Chains A and B, each alone.
Chain A
Amino acid sequence: MMTAEAGNPSQHPGISLQDRGNDLPVLHELCHALTALHLEGTETVIDIKSLPFGESDEHRLGKALGTGEVEAVLHALGESRITETAFPGIWWIEHRNEQGEVIAKSIEVTRIPGILKSQQADIAAARRRLESLVQLTDQVDESTPIDN
Protein backbone atom coordinates (compact mmCIF):
# COMPACT_ATOMS: atom_id res chain seq x y z
CA MET A 1 0.00 0.00 0.00
CA MET A 2 1.31 3.39 -0.95
CA THR A 3 1.03 4.87 2.51
CA ALA A 4 3.16 2.16 4.09
CA GLU A 5 5.94 2.67 1.56
CA ALA A 6 5.77 6.43 1.51
CA GLY A 7 5.94 6.62 5.28
CA ASN A 8 9.08 4.51 5.53
CA PRO A 9 12.17 6.50 4.56
CA SER A 10 14.39 3.64 5.78
CA GLN A 11 13.80 1.99 2.41
CA HIS A 12 16.24 4.38 0.78
CA PRO A 13 19.86 3.30 1.03
CA GLY A 14 21.87 5.60 3.26
CA ILE A 15 18.87 7.05 5.05
CA SER A 16 17.43 5.22 8.00
CA LEU A 17 15.54 6.19 11.10
CA GLN A 18 18.55 4.78 12.94
CA ASP A 19 20.35 7.97 11.87
CA ARG A 20 18.22 10.05 14.21
CA GLY A 21 19.46 8.57 17.51
CA ASN A 22 17.47 10.75 19.89
CA ASP A 23 17.49 7.98 22.46
CA LEU A 24 21.20 8.27 23.31
CA PRO A 25 21.03 11.75 24.91
CA VAL A 26 18.19 10.52 27.12
CA LEU A 27 20.29 7.57 28.27
CA HIS A 28 23.08 9.98 29.16
CA GLU A 29 20.61 12.13 31.10
CA LEU A 30 19.41 9.02 32.96
CA CYS A 31 23.01 8.20 33.97
CA HIS A 32 23.32 11.59 35.62
CA ALA A 33 19.85 11.36 37.16
CA LEU A 34 20.47 7.92 38.65
CA THR A 35 23.74 9.12 40.18
CA ALA A 36 21.95 12.12 41.70
CA LEU A 37 19.26 9.81 43.11
CA HIS A 38 21.80 7.44 44.58
CA LEU A 39 24.09 10.04 46.14
CA GLU A 40 21.73 12.92 46.94
CA GLY A 41 18.22 11.48 46.82
CA THR A 42 17.30 13.91 44.01
CA GLU A 43 14.37 12.79 41.83
CA THR A 44 14.03 13.45 38.08
CA VAL A 45 11.14 13.20 35.65
CA ILE A 46 11.55 13.15 31.86
CA ASP A 47 8.46 13.67 29.73
CA ILE A 48 8.98 11.16 26.88
CA LYS A 49 5.80 12.13 25.04
CA SER A 50 7.07 15.67 24.39
CA LEU A 51 10.46 14.64 23.01
CA PRO A 52 10.96 14.66 19.22
CA PHE A 53 11.27 10.89 19.08
CA GLY A 54 10.91 8.80 15.98
CA GLU A 55 9.23 5.43 16.59
CA SER A 56 12.52 3.57 16.62
CA ASP A 57 14.06 6.02 19.12
CA GLU A 58 11.47 5.19 21.74
CA HIS A 59 11.63 1.50 20.90
CA ARG A 60 15.41 1.45 21.33
CA LEU A 61 15.17 3.35 24.61
CA GLY A 62 12.58 0.91 25.91
CA LYS A 63 14.66 -2.06 24.87
CA ALA A 64 17.79 -0.62 26.46
CA LEU A 65 16.01 -0.01 29.77
CA GLY A 66 14.10 -3.31 29.77
CA THR A 67 11.74 -4.49 32.51
CA GLY A 68 12.63 -5.19 36.15
CA GLU A 69 10.94 -6.69 39.17
CA VAL A 70 7.86 -4.47 39.49
CA GLU A 71 4.89 -3.96 37.15
CA ALA A 72 1.95 -1.99 38.49
CA VAL A 73 -1.38 -1.24 36.81
CA LEU A 74 -3.34 1.81 37.91
CA HIS A 75 -7.08 1.94 37.18
CA ALA A 76 -8.07 5.60 37.30
CA LEU A 77 -9.50 7.52 34.33
CA GLY A 78 -8.35 4.62 32.20
CA GLU A 79 -5.40 2.32 32.65
CA SER A 80 -1.84 3.37 33.48
CA ARG A 81 1.21 1.16 33.66
CA ILE A 82 4.01 1.93 36.10
CA THR A 83 6.98 -0.36 35.56
CA GLU A 84 10.39 -0.46 37.17
CA THR A 85 12.91 -0.96 34.37
CA ALA A 86 15.83 -3.37 34.59
CA PHE A 87 17.64 -0.49 36.29
CA PRO A 88 16.21 -0.08 39.81
CA GLY A 89 15.41 3.56 40.39
CA ILE A 90 14.37 4.11 36.77
CA TRP A 91 10.64 3.75 36.26
CA TRP A 92 8.65 3.86 32.98
CA ILE A 93 5.19 5.38 33.34
CA GLU A 94 2.52 5.26 30.65
CA HIS A 95 -0.89 6.86 31.24
CA ARG A 96 -3.83 5.90 29.04
CA ASN A 97 -7.36 7.32 28.96
CA GLU A 98 -10.59 5.32 28.96
CA GLN A 99 -10.32 4.94 25.17
CA GLY A 100 -6.87 3.34 25.57
CA GLU A 101 -5.04 6.29 24.02
CA VAL A 102 -1.73 7.36 25.52
CA ILE A 103 -2.16 10.72 27.26
CA ALA A 104 1.19 10.92 29.04
CA LYS A 105 4.45 9.01 28.96
CA SER A 106 7.40 9.64 31.24
CA ILE A 107 10.49 8.18 32.86
CA GLU A 108 10.87 8.81 36.59
CA VAL A 109 14.14 8.41 38.43
CA THR A 110 12.99 7.84 41.99
CA ARG A 111 12.74 5.22 44.72
CA ILE A 112 8.99 5.08 44.17
CA PRO A 113 6.82 7.10 41.74
CA GLY A 114 4.58 9.43 43.73
CA ILE A 115 1.43 8.21 42.01
CA LEU A 116 1.87 4.70 43.47
CA LYS A 117 1.62 5.95 47.04
CA SER A 118 -1.83 6.09 48.61
CA GLN A 119 -2.88 9.72 48.53
CA GLN A 120 -3.85 11.63 51.66
CA ALA A 121 -7.16 12.88 50.22
CA ASP A 122 -8.11 9.32 49.24
CA ILE A 123 -7.13 8.05 52.70
CA ALA A 124 -9.36 10.68 54.29
CA ALA A 125 -12.30 9.59 52.15
CA ALA A 126 -11.46 5.94 52.90
CA ARG A 127 -11.61 6.63 56.64
CA ARG A 128 -15.13 8.03 56.28
CA ARG A 129 -16.25 5.05 54.21
CA LEU A 130 -14.69 2.50 56.53
CA GLU A 131 -16.22 4.18 59.58
CA SER A 132 -19.70 4.04 57.98
CA LEU A 133 -19.12 0.41 57.08
CA VAL A 134 -18.10 -0.44 60.64
CA GLN A 135 -21.14 1.41 62.05
CA LEU A 136 -23.45 -0.48 59.72
CA THR A 137 -21.86 -3.78 60.71
CA ASP A 138 -22.25 -2.89 64.40
CA GLN A 139 -25.95 -2.08 63.86
CA VAL A 140 -26.58 -5.38 62.13
CA ASP A 141 -24.85 -7.27 64.95
CA GLU A 142 -26.96 -5.46 67.59
CA SER A 143 -30.21 -6.44 65.88
CA THR A 144 -29.31 -10.12 65.49
CA PRO A 145 -30.69 -12.11 68.41
CA ILE A 146 -28.07 -14.01 70.34
CA ASP A 147 -28.94 -17.70 70.35
CA ASN A 148 -26.89 -18.98 73.18
Chain B
Amino acid sequence: MGSFIEEKLRAVTVADRLRAEGVSRRGFLKFCAATASLMALSPAMVPTIARAMENARRPSVIWLSFQECTGCTESLTRSHSPSVESLILEQVSLDYHHTLQVASGEAAEHAREVAMNENHGKYLLVVDGSIPTRDGGVYSTIAGISNLDMLKEVAEGAAAIIAVGSCAAFGGIPHARPNPTGAVPVSDIITDKPIVNVSGCPPIPTVITGVLAHFLTFSKLPDLDGLGRPLAFYGQSIHDRCYRRPFYDKGLFAESFDDEGARKGWCLYRLGCKGPATYNACATTKWNEGTSFPIEAGHPCLGCSEPDFWDMGSFYRALSIPTGDTTRTLVYGIGAGAVVGAGATAMARSRKASAKAAHYKVTVDDLEKSS
Protein backbone atom coordinates (compact mmCIF):
# COMPACT_ATOMS: atom_id res chain seq x y z
CA MET B 1 0.00 0.00 0.00
CA GLY B 2 2.69 2.44 1.06
CA SER B 3 4.74 1.73 -2.03
CA PHE B 4 1.76 2.58 -4.25
CA ILE B 5 1.46 6.04 -2.72
CA GLU B 6 5.23 6.48 -2.87
CA GLU B 7 5.08 5.66 -6.56
CA LYS B 8 2.50 8.38 -7.18
CA LEU B 9 4.52 10.96 -5.25
CA ARG B 10 7.70 10.07 -7.04
CA ALA B 11 5.95 10.27 -10.44
CA VAL B 12 7.89 13.18 -11.87
CA THR B 13 8.93 11.62 -15.14
CA VAL B 14 6.54 10.62 -17.91
CA ALA B 15 7.24 6.89 -17.43
CA ASP B 16 6.74 7.17 -13.67
CA ARG B 17 3.43 8.87 -14.20
CA LEU B 18 2.20 6.18 -16.60
CA ARG B 19 3.15 3.48 -14.10
CA ALA B 20 1.41 5.37 -11.30
CA GLU B 21 -1.71 5.42 -13.48
CA GLY B 22 -1.56 1.63 -13.62
CA VAL B 23 -0.02 1.29 -17.07
CA SER B 24 2.16 -1.85 -17.19
CA ARG B 25 5.56 -1.92 -18.85
CA ARG B 26 3.98 -3.69 -21.82
CA GLY B 27 1.39 -0.90 -22.02
CA PHE B 28 4.23 1.62 -21.84
CA LEU B 29 6.06 -0.12 -24.72
CA LYS B 30 2.82 -0.09 -26.72
CA PHE B 31 2.56 3.63 -25.98
CA CYS B 32 6.14 4.16 -27.19
CA ALA B 33 5.51 2.13 -30.38
CA ALA B 34 2.42 4.20 -31.18
CA THR B 35 4.33 7.41 -30.41
CA ALA B 36 7.10 6.39 -32.82
CA SER B 37 4.50 5.72 -35.52
CA LEU B 38 2.80 9.05 -34.75
CA MET B 39 6.07 10.93 -35.17
CA ALA B 40 6.80 8.98 -38.39
CA LEU B 41 9.97 7.56 -36.75
CA SER B 42 11.43 4.13 -37.41
CA PRO B 43 10.34 1.38 -34.96
CA ALA B 44 14.06 1.06 -34.16
CA MET B 45 13.61 4.33 -32.23
CA VAL B 46 11.25 2.73 -29.69
CA PRO B 47 14.00 1.98 -27.12
CA THR B 48 15.22 5.59 -27.46
CA ILE B 49 11.70 6.89 -26.93
CA ALA B 50 11.23 4.58 -23.94
CA ARG B 51 14.49 5.83 -22.37
CA ALA B 52 13.54 9.44 -23.04
CA MET B 53 10.12 9.01 -21.46
CA GLU B 54 11.83 7.50 -18.43
CA ASN B 55 13.84 10.68 -18.02
CA ALA B 56 11.50 13.35 -19.37
CA ARG B 57 9.89 15.61 -16.84
CA ARG B 58 6.41 16.91 -17.59
CA PRO B 59 6.87 20.22 -19.38
CA SER B 60 4.72 23.19 -18.51
CA VAL B 61 2.69 24.38 -21.48
CA ILE B 62 1.14 27.82 -21.82
CA TRP B 63 -1.36 28.09 -24.64
CA LEU B 64 -2.14 31.60 -25.83
CA SER B 65 -5.17 32.12 -28.06
CA PHE B 66 -5.03 35.32 -30.06
CA GLN B 67 -6.97 36.39 -33.17
CA GLU B 68 -8.42 32.97 -33.88
CA CYS B 69 -11.65 31.05 -34.36
CA THR B 70 -10.78 28.28 -31.82
CA GLY B 71 -10.88 25.74 -34.67
CA CYS B 72 -7.38 24.55 -33.84
CA THR B 73 -8.33 23.77 -30.24
CA GLU B 74 -11.54 22.14 -31.52
CA SER B 75 -9.53 19.98 -33.91
CA LEU B 76 -7.27 18.85 -31.09
CA THR B 77 -9.99 18.18 -28.55
CA ARG B 78 -12.63 16.82 -30.93
CA SER B 79 -10.39 14.00 -32.05
CA HIS B 80 -11.80 10.99 -30.25
CA SER B 81 -8.73 11.01 -28.04
CA PRO B 82 -7.20 7.65 -28.77
CA SER B 83 -5.35 6.54 -25.65
CA VAL B 84 -1.95 7.41 -27.04
CA GLU B 85 -2.85 10.99 -27.90
CA SER B 86 -4.66 11.63 -24.66
CA LEU B 87 -1.78 10.04 -22.78
CA ILE B 88 0.63 12.36 -24.56
CA LEU B 89 -1.55 15.34 -23.80
CA GLU B 90 -1.77 14.25 -20.17
CA GLN B 91 2.03 14.20 -19.96
CA VAL B 92 2.18 17.95 -20.33
CA SER B 93 1.10 20.29 -17.61
CA LEU B 94 -1.31 22.57 -19.43
CA ASP B 95 -1.07 25.60 -17.19
CA TYR B 96 -3.05 28.10 -19.26
CA HIS B 97 -5.66 27.58 -22.00
CA HIS B 98 -8.76 29.75 -22.51
CA THR B 99 -11.08 26.97 -23.62
CA LEU B 100 -9.86 24.13 -21.41
CA GLN B 101 -8.96 25.81 -18.12
CA VAL B 102 -11.41 26.03 -15.24
CA ALA B 103 -10.17 29.36 -13.88
CA SER B 104 -11.27 32.64 -15.43
CA GLY B 105 -10.59 36.33 -15.03
CA GLU B 106 -7.78 37.40 -12.72
CA ALA B 107 -7.35 33.89 -11.32
CA ALA B 108 -6.54 32.63 -14.80
CA GLU B 109 -4.01 35.36 -15.49
CA HIS B 110 -2.43 34.74 -12.10
CA ALA B 111 -2.08 31.02 -12.93
CA ARG B 112 -0.29 31.98 -16.11
CA GLU B 113 2.13 34.26 -14.28
CA VAL B 114 2.89 31.60 -11.66
CA ALA B 115 3.59 29.00 -14.37
CA MET B 116 5.85 31.43 -16.20
CA ASN B 117 7.85 32.26 -13.09
CA GLU B 118 8.20 28.69 -11.82
CA ASN B 119 9.29 27.34 -15.21
CA HIS B 120 11.17 30.31 -16.61
CA GLY B 121 13.23 29.29 -19.63
CA LYS B 122 11.69 25.82 -19.72
CA TYR B 123 8.00 26.10 -20.63
CA LEU B 124 6.52 25.44 -24.02
CA LEU B 125 4.51 28.28 -25.51
CA VAL B 126 1.70 27.26 -27.88
CA VAL B 127 0.00 30.00 -29.88
CA ASP B 128 -3.09 29.85 -32.05
CA GLY B 129 -4.45 32.85 -33.90
CA SER B 130 -2.68 35.72 -35.60
CA ILE B 131 -1.44 38.86 -33.85
CA PRO B 132 -2.99 42.20 -34.88
CA THR B 133 -0.45 45.00 -35.00
CA ARG B 134 -2.33 48.00 -36.44
CA ASP B 135 -3.11 50.88 -34.08
CA GLY B 136 -0.89 49.46 -31.35
CA GLY B 137 -2.53 46.06 -31.52
CA VAL B 138 -5.84 47.14 -29.95
CA TYR B 139 -7.92 44.83 -32.15
CA SER B 140 -7.36 41.81 -29.91
CA THR B 141 -6.74 42.03 -26.20
CA ILE B 142 -6.89 39.68 -23.20
CA ALA B 143 -7.39 41.10 -19.73
CA GLY B 144 -6.60 44.52 -21.14
CA ILE B 145 -3.25 43.37 -22.54
CA SER B 146 -2.81 43.44 -26.32
CA ASN B 147 -1.93 40.12 -27.99
CA LEU B 148 1.24 41.78 -29.21
CA ASP B 149 2.43 42.69 -25.72
CA MET B 150 1.37 39.34 -24.22
CA LEU B 151 3.21 37.36 -26.90
CA LYS B 152 6.44 39.28 -26.34
CA GLU B 153 6.14 38.93 -22.55
CA VAL B 154 5.38 35.19 -22.52
CA ALA B 155 7.83 34.30 -25.32
CA GLU B 156 10.68 35.77 -23.33
CA GLY B 157 10.78 32.85 -20.84
CA ALA B 158 9.74 30.11 -23.26
CA ALA B 159 12.03 27.28 -24.33
CA ALA B 160 10.28 27.01 -27.69
CA ILE B 161 7.12 28.14 -29.46
CA ILE B 162 4.61 26.03 -31.36
CA ALA B 163 2.50 28.15 -33.73
CA VAL B 164 -0.62 26.03 -34.20
CA GLY B 165 -2.76 26.69 -37.26
CA SER B 166 -2.28 28.79 -40.37
CA CYS B 167 -3.18 31.99 -38.51
CA ALA B 168 -0.34 31.70 -36.00
CA ALA B 169 2.00 30.22 -38.61
CA PHE B 170 1.36 32.54 -41.54
CA GLY B 171 -1.28 35.09 -40.54
CA GLY B 172 -4.17 33.00 -41.89
CA ILE B 173 -7.64 34.40 -42.46
CA PRO B 174 -7.20 37.73 -40.66
CA HIS B 175 -4.10 38.28 -42.80
CA ALA B 176 -6.13 37.93 -46.04
CA ARG B 177 -6.64 41.06 -48.18
CA PRO B 178 -7.14 43.82 -47.05
CA ASN B 179 -5.87 42.71 -43.60
CA PRO B 180 -7.70 45.44 -41.67
CA THR B 181 -6.14 44.59 -38.29
CA GLY B 182 -2.55 44.33 -39.52
CA ALA B 183 -2.51 40.63 -38.57
CA VAL B 184 0.91 38.96 -38.61
CA PRO B 185 2.23 35.46 -37.74
CA VAL B 186 4.18 34.66 -34.56
CA SER B 187 7.45 34.48 -36.50
CA ASP B 188 7.10 38.13 -37.52
CA ILE B 189 7.12 39.23 -33.87
CA ILE B 190 9.44 36.70 -32.16
CA THR B 191 12.78 36.20 -33.86
CA ASP B 192 15.02 34.91 -31.06
CA LYS B 193 13.25 31.64 -30.09
CA PRO B 194 12.86 28.31 -31.94
CA ILE B 195 9.42 28.27 -33.59
CA VAL B 196 7.56 25.33 -35.16
CA ASN B 197 4.79 26.19 -37.59
CA VAL B 198 2.08 23.55 -37.46
CA SER B 199 0.00 25.02 -40.27
CA GLY B 200 -3.39 23.99 -41.56
CA CYS B 201 -6.86 25.40 -41.18
CA PRO B 202 -7.09 23.60 -38.83
CA PRO B 203 -4.05 21.30 -38.57
CA ILE B 204 -4.58 17.53 -38.35
CA PRO B 205 -4.76 16.72 -34.60
CA THR B 206 -2.17 13.94 -34.73
CA VAL B 207 0.30 16.44 -36.19
CA ILE B 208 -0.14 18.68 -33.15
CA THR B 209 0.32 15.81 -30.72
CA GLY B 210 3.19 14.45 -32.83
CA VAL B 211 5.13 17.67 -32.34
CA LEU B 212 4.38 17.64 -28.60
CA ALA B 213 5.49 13.99 -28.41
CA HIS B 214 8.72 14.86 -30.19
CA PHE B 215 9.43 17.63 -27.71
CA LEU B 216 8.61 15.30 -24.80
CA THR B 217 10.96 12.63 -26.14
CA PHE B 218 13.90 14.63 -27.37
CA SER B 219 13.48 17.93 -25.51
CA LYS B 220 13.88 19.72 -28.82
CA LEU B 221 11.81 20.51 -31.90
CA PRO B 222 11.65 18.17 -34.94
CA ASP B 223 13.42 18.86 -38.26
CA LEU B 224 11.68 21.69 -40.10
CA ASP B 225 11.15 22.70 -43.74
CA GLY B 226 11.80 26.12 -45.25
CA LEU B 227 8.55 27.45 -43.79
CA GLY B 228 9.30 26.13 -40.30
CA ARG B 229 6.92 23.16 -40.57
CA PRO B 230 7.88 19.69 -39.25
CA LEU B 231 9.26 17.73 -42.20
CA ALA B 232 7.74 14.47 -40.93
CA PHE B 233 4.25 15.78 -41.71
CA TYR B 234 4.78 18.54 -44.27
CA GLY B 235 7.62 17.02 -46.26
CA GLN B 236 5.51 15.89 -49.19
CA SER B 237 2.77 17.53 -51.20
CA ILE B 238 -0.82 16.29 -51.15
CA HIS B 239 -0.39 15.62 -54.88
CA ASP B 240 2.55 13.27 -54.30
CA ARG B 241 0.56 11.06 -51.92
CA CYS B 242 -2.92 11.43 -53.39
CA TYR B 243 -4.68 8.16 -54.16
CA ARG B 244 -6.21 9.84 -57.26
CA ARG B 245 -2.75 10.47 -58.72
CA PRO B 246 -3.07 7.64 -61.28
CA PHE B 247 -5.95 9.60 -62.82
CA TYR B 248 -3.93 12.84 -62.96
CA ASP B 249 -1.10 10.93 -64.63
CA LYS B 250 -3.51 9.54 -67.23
CA GLY B 251 -5.23 12.87 -67.81
CA LEU B 252 -8.58 11.81 -66.41
CA PHE B 253 -10.26 14.77 -64.72
CA ALA B 254 -13.61 15.66 -63.27
CA GLU B 255 -14.83 18.64 -65.28
CA SER B 256 -17.57 19.76 -62.95
CA PHE B 257 -19.00 18.67 -59.65
CA ASP B 258 -21.11 15.52 -59.88
CA ASP B 259 -20.28 14.77 -63.53
CA GLU B 260 -19.33 11.27 -64.61
CA GLY B 261 -15.62 11.79 -63.91
CA ALA B 262 -16.35 13.16 -60.45
CA ARG B 263 -18.52 10.14 -59.68
CA LYS B 264 -15.74 7.83 -60.85
CA GLY B 265 -13.33 9.52 -58.47
CA TRP B 266 -11.11 11.12 -61.08
CA CYS B 267 -8.59 13.86 -60.42
CA LEU B 268 -9.96 17.20 -59.19
CA TYR B 269 -7.16 19.32 -60.65
CA ARG B 270 -9.44 21.06 -63.13
CA LEU B 271 -11.90 21.87 -60.37
CA GLY B 272 -9.24 23.94 -58.64
CA CYS B 273 -7.40 21.41 -56.50
CA LYS B 274 -4.36 23.02 -54.87
CA GLY B 275 -2.85 19.61 -54.02
CA PRO B 276 0.24 20.06 -56.22
CA ALA B 277 1.21 23.22 -54.35
CA THR B 278 0.20 22.15 -50.84
CA TYR B 279 2.27 20.38 -48.20
CA ASN B 280 0.43 18.53 -45.42
CA ALA B 281 -0.29 15.00 -44.21
CA CYS B 282 -3.93 14.90 -45.32
CA ALA B 283 -3.47 12.28 -48.04
CA THR B 284 -1.78 9.77 -45.71
CA THR B 285 -2.78 10.54 -42.12
CA LYS B 286 -6.20 11.83 -43.23
CA TRP B 287 -8.89 13.28 -40.92
CA ASN B 288 -11.19 11.90 -38.23
CA GLU B 289 -8.89 9.05 -37.21
CA GLY B 290 -7.94 8.19 -40.78
CA THR B 291 -11.50 8.28 -42.17
CA SER B 292 -11.10 10.54 -45.18
CA PHE B 293 -9.82 13.88 -46.47
CA PRO B 294 -11.33 16.57 -48.75
CA ILE B 295 -10.21 15.02 -52.05
CA GLU B 296 -11.50 11.60 -51.04
CA ALA B 297 -14.83 13.26 -50.21
CA GLY B 298 -14.90 14.75 -53.70
CA HIS B 299 -13.78 18.32 -52.97
CA PRO B 300 -10.56 19.87 -54.29
CA CYS B 301 -7.82 20.72 -51.81
CA LEU B 302 -7.97 24.35 -50.62
CA GLY B 303 -4.27 24.54 -49.79
CA CYS B 304 -5.05 25.57 -46.21
CA SER B 305 -1.59 24.75 -44.83
CA GLU B 306 0.13 27.20 -47.17
CA PRO B 307 0.74 30.93 -46.61
CA ASP B 308 -1.94 33.26 -48.06
CA PHE B 309 -4.18 30.41 -49.19
CA TRP B 310 -7.14 32.80 -49.04
CA ASP B 311 -5.50 35.08 -51.59
CA MET B 312 -4.49 32.40 -54.13
CA GLY B 313 -7.39 33.12 -56.50
CA SER B 314 -10.58 31.09 -56.53
CA PHE B 315 -10.68 27.74 -54.78
CA TYR B 316 -12.34 26.47 -57.95
CA ARG B 317 -9.91 27.79 -60.54
CA ALA B 318 -7.23 25.32 -61.65
CA LEU B 319 -3.64 26.06 -60.69
CA SER B 320 -2.18 27.90 -63.66
CA ILE B 321 1.26 26.35 -63.40
CA PRO B 322 1.17 22.55 -63.47
CA THR B 323 3.85 20.68 -61.52
CA GLY B 324 5.67 17.57 -62.62
CA ASP B 325 6.26 16.33 -66.14
CA THR B 326 6.80 19.30 -68.45
CA THR B 327 5.89 17.32 -71.56
CA ARG B 328 2.34 17.46 -70.29
CA THR B 329 2.44 21.23 -69.83
CA LEU B 330 0.95 21.95 -73.26
CA VAL B 331 -2.08 19.74 -72.62
CA TYR B 332 -2.77 21.23 -69.22
CA GLY B 333 -2.06 24.71 -70.51
CA ILE B 334 -4.86 24.27 -73.00
CA GLY B 335 -7.11 22.80 -70.34
CA ALA B 336 -6.51 25.55 -67.79
CA GLY B 337 -6.16 28.33 -70.33
CA ALA B 338 -9.47 27.49 -71.98
CA VAL B 339 -11.24 28.29 -68.74
CA VAL B 340 -10.10 31.90 -68.91
CA GLY B 341 -9.44 32.20 -72.65
CA ALA B 342 -11.52 33.45 -75.55
CA GLY B 343 -13.46 30.21 -75.92
CA ALA B 344 -14.58 30.37 -72.34
CA THR B 345 -18.09 31.60 -73.01
CA ALA B 346 -18.80 29.07 -75.73
CA MET B 347 -17.34 26.27 -73.66
CA ALA B 348 -19.23 27.43 -70.62
CA ARG B 349 -22.50 27.43 -72.53
CA SER B 350 -21.98 23.97 -73.97
CA ARG B 351 -20.85 22.64 -70.60
CA LYS B 352 -23.89 24.16 -69.01
CA ALA B 353 -26.11 22.47 -71.56
CA SER B 354 -24.51 19.07 -71.03
CA ALA B 355 -24.56 19.65 -67.30
CA LYS B 356 -28.30 20.20 -67.47
CA ALA B 357 -28.67 17.03 -69.47
CA ALA B 358 -26.64 15.13 -66.83
CA HIS B 359 -28.91 16.47 -64.08
CA TYR B 360 -26.57 18.16 -61.69
CA LYS B 361 -27.30 21.29 -59.75
CA VAL B 362 -24.18 23.46 -59.69
CA THR B 363 -21.46 23.87 -62.31
CA VAL B 364 -18.02 25.40 -62.02
CA ASP B 365 -19.35 28.24 -64.18
CA ASP B 366 -22.00 29.08 -61.64
CA LEU B 367 -19.40 29.13 -58.91
CA GLU B 368 -17.03 31.28 -60.97
CA LYS B 369 -19.76 33.77 -61.74
CA SER B 370 -20.62 34.23 -58.12
CA SER B 371 -17.00 34.40 -56.87
Contacts and interface: CB of A to CB of B under 8 A. Distances in A.
Contacts of A14: 250
A76 B82 contact: no
B265 A5 contact: yes
B42 interface: yes
Interface string B15-36: 0000100011111011101101
Interface stretch (B63-71, B238-246, B309-317, B326-334): B238-246
A19 B246 contact: yes
A122 B263 contact: no
B43 to A, nearest CB: 4
Nearest to A78: B83
Given A3-B297, A76-B30, A103-B84, A47 B37 contact: yes
What's the interface size class on B, roughly?
35 or more
Contacts of A98: 83
21 contacts: A2-B263, A5-B265, A9-B246, A9-B247, A9-B264, A15-B247, A15-B250, A45-B42, A45-B43, A47-B37, A52-B284, A76-B27, A77-B31, A77-B84, A95-B30, A97-B34, A97-B84, A99-B83, A103-B37, A106-B33, A106-B43
Given A9-B243, A76-B26, 11 more contacts: A9-B244, A14-B250, A45-B42, A50-B37, A77-B87, A78-B83, A95-B33, A97-B84, A103-B37, A104-B33, A105-B37
Interface of B: 3, 19, 23-27, 29-31, 33-34, 36-37, 40, 42-44, 46, 80, 82-84, 87, 241, 243-244, 246-247, 250, 252, 258, 262-266, 284, 289, 296-298
User: When A and B form their complex, which 10 residue pairs have the shortest distance between CB atoms, in order from nearest?
Assistant: A119-B25, A76-B27, A45-B43, A97-B83, A103-B34, A6-B265, A97-B82, A121-B25, A104-B34, A77-B27
